[in-house]
Amino acid sequence: MKQSEILQPEAHQGKGKCGINRREFLLYSGTAVAATTVMLNIPGTAQAQEARLAQYPKKLIGKLSQLKQDEPVYFNYPDDGLNAGAMLIRLGEKAGGGLSKKQDIVAFSSYCTHQGGALAGTYNKQYKTMGQCPLHLTTYDLTRYGIVVSGQAYQSLPQVVLELDGDDIYAVGVMGLLFGRNDNLIG
């Protein structure tokens, strides 16, 4: 039986916080794990990534109390430029990188990372997926950091890093490159 020696998400629970902060998101997310496995011997990598996230704007995108399960809230992030459309959603079940006590609030880019197809309107509430993308039929699993369920995308659906402050939900970063950009912060 395999088991992860890398992280136990449960260990980060029960700290009395109502959500996770950027640092914890990193710990939950693939990137932090990459930092401890693939790039084990490169000092400062996690810090470098944290520093990178610090360059992103902090944007209020919704209220916890107003989010209804399976009803997407669309917003732009990190700017109002091309392919900045994103979607905030309360899945109703625990998700990788999820916010709230139930860890079920996540946000993702709404552009396919294959060739930029628009995914808005393809949220499937039974399975908590996005897609099929109208262009080449990729589907993504929103409970698992936007991983490709089936399809042709070159990477997971970029996940928007969230922070919860009281009732306010903020977007504070993006994990993964948005389609069409060479740098998420150049819109």
Partner 1 sequence: MEKTKFYDAVDKAPLPPKGADVLTTACDYCIVACGYKVYRWPVGTEGGPKASQNAFGVDFPTSALGAWVAPTQHNVVTHNGRKHNVVVVPDKDTEVVNLTGDSSIRGGTIAQKCYNPDKLTKDRLQRPLVRIHGSLVPVSWDFALDIAAEVANHVIDKHGVNAYSVKTFSYHFIENTYAITKYARRHVKTAAFTFHDTPSDVTSTPGFRDAGYDNFGAAYSDWGDADALMICGTDPYETKTVLFTQWIKPAIESGQKVVILNPRETAGVAFAKKYGAVHLDLYPGTDNVVVNAIARIIIENGWQDQDWIDKWVASKWETDSGFGQGTRNTPWQWRTTWGKFQTKGYEDWKKWLFAQDEYKLENASKISGVDPAKIVKAAEYMGKPIDGERPKTSIGIEKGFYWSNNTGNTEAIGALAAVVGAGGRPGQMIARFGGHQRGGQGGGKYPRNLSPEKVPGRRRRALDTDRWLVSGHTRMAHVIGTTWIQAMCGTTGLQAKFEELVTNNQHQVRSKDKQEIIATLKKRADSGGMVVINQDIYLIDPIGAKFADIVFPASGWGENDFMRANGERRLRLYQKFYDAPGESKPDWWIIAQLAKKMGFDGFDWENSNDVAEEAARFSRGSRKDFNMIKVDAHAKGITLHERMRQMGTTGIQGPVLRIEGELVGTVRLHDTTLELPETGAEKGNVFNKKLTHFNSQSGKVNMMKSPWGLFSDFWEWMKPQEDELWVTNGRINEKWQSGYDDTERRPYIKQRWPENFCEIHPDDAKKYGIKNGDEIMVYSKRVPIYKDTILGVKGDDYQFSSLMKNGHIDLIEASVKGIAMVTPAIKKGVLFMDFLDKRQPSNAIQARVVDWISGNYNYKMGVGKIKRIGGSIYQKEQHAMSFKPRNITGA
Enumerate the active-site residues. Answer: 114, 136
Cβ 160 to partner 1, closest distance in Å?
Answer: 11
Determine, following the binding rule CB under 8 A, whether residue 175 of this chain makes contact with partner 1: yes
Per CB under 8 A, contacts with partner 1 among 37-76 are: 37-39, 52
What is the enclosing helix (H) or strand (E) of 18?
Answer: none
Q: Tell me which stretch binds partner 1 (CB under 8 A): 2-10, 17-25, 60-68, 162-170.
A: 2-10
Cβ 13 to partner 1, closest distance in Å?
Answer: 12
Q: Are 151 and 133 a contacting pair, CB within 8 Å?
A: yes
Paired with 139 in beta bridges are 150
Q: Tell me which stretch binds partner 1 (CB under 8 A): 13-21, 57-65, 77-85, 164-172.
A: 77-85
Query: How far is the C-alpha of 64 from the C-alpha of 88, rounded, in Å?
Result: 11
Could you tell me which of 82, 71, 84 has the C-alpha nearest to residue 174? 84
